[in-house]
Structure 1
Amino acid sequence: MSDLHTTTLGEQGSPVVFCHGLFGQGKNWTQIGKALAASHRVTLVDMPDHGQSPWSERLDYEAMADAVAGVIDEPAALVGHSMGGKAAMLAALRHPERVERLVVVDVSPVQYRSADEFRGFIDAMLGMDLGAIGSRADADAALADAVPNPGVRAFLLQSLRREADGWRWLPNLEMLRRDLDVLRGFPETDAVYEGPVLWIGGSDSGYVRDEFVPAMEARFPRVRRVTIKGAGHWVHSEQPKVFTEVLSRFLDA
């Protein structure tokens, strides 16, 4: 079994396991999870080095995938966004007997050219003087210049926790920055996952492109691609109603 922190919603129906992206937490999926909980047993996972899950010494997609597979005790639908999507894909390839179907959200099994945006976020987060912060408003102001988009800033600040001795970041930022190039890639594998796959992209995002289709189909031959209009990289938070409808149809097919 995995030592990852999980939250469960719902008590009946088929199991669905959610994996978040970089800087996130399992609770980022709460809105979607609650929408499914009447008819599914939902598990929200804190990925390694995030949320309340343990920190590791290096970023490793294989270890991440195996840890995710470890929380699955019966064949489940596995849903992953961005970093969590790559981990979910690899979990399906490495442990197909545990993944009944797969949903990949706004990411592809390819090497992306740049992680500069994410590196900038980490630098900004590490650069904050946490000792000088008295409130979340202070934290928001301290991050505003480096991260001008208020939605992205609010997302990052969800991982800032106030404790008795002050503030701390939940993600393992120093390690994530050091190994960020690993995050851009996808491990080489000859494995093929034969189960049904839903590949969801945002129309305003560049993470799912026509040029990535051959790489996806080579590993996931039963893939169906859906593009959600009016959404960028964080598809499920930008268009939650449409996303939930698309996801529900696939889960119940």
Structure 2
Amino acid sequence: MDIDLDRVSVDLAGTRLVHDITLSAAAGRVVGLVGPNGSGKSTLLRCVYRALRPAAGAVRLGGADLHALAPREAARRVAALPQEHSAEFDFTVAEVVGMGRLPHRGAFAGPTAGDEERCAAALRRAGADHLAGRGFLSLSGGEKQRVLIARALVQEPRVLVLDEPTNHLDIAHQLEVLALVREAGPTVLTALHDLNLAAGHCDLLYVIEAGRIVASGPPVEVLQPDLLAEVFGVRATPVRHPLTGAVHLLFDRLDRLDPLDPLDPLDRP
């Protein structure tokens, strides 16, 4: 399912944090939002999973206004993994993942055998099936992240919104989770801090600075040294991955006088 943001602006506490953003993610594509801390990525994503309502503009799913949908219908179409989550009660992992099936059941209906099969399969795909009987609050940050990915997938959304989904994950699980969400098939809109992960796993990137889009396009076209110096304040050298051909970035500080010299002037004896 296509998702389109049409001239979306967002205000919080009387301050405009997102300004007139228009972007599109075609069905089945992985679209990344990148930008420095505080640029507005998370605020924008919160509009897409209905935690915030735009001050102006609209979020459309397949042409329908997302914020005009009934909550249950919206939850059948969009699942989210926010950057921050809380759990006051120590549900088991199996119970947490099972919550992803709630939009597909009646108000007072219990889980079906099919629901339980889907939850078990999602936990296996996320590499977390061995945690099913554990209390969620007892898990490490990386284990919690994999369980929440499983919960989002078992919701069977048409659009998956991920805010820093690789937080707390080791490198193997970072790669596995990003491959998993692509293989699952929904349209994916994700914010990522790691530009190399964004380059290797996104079809399209939008660069956001101070609440505005400053560049967009395929990663190889967007992640150019001049733009990265201006937006992120780093010197970047793009190279090609020898196996995948994806662009990979080597970083250094902008204030280093000689990029080939490993020592700062102050470090020299």
Structure 1-normalised TM-score? Answer: 0.28
Q: Over alpha carbons, which structure has the higher Rg?
A: 2
Q: Which has more strand, going by share of residues?
A: 2
Q: Which has more helix, going by share of residues?
A: 1
Structure 2-normalised TM-score? Answer: 0.27
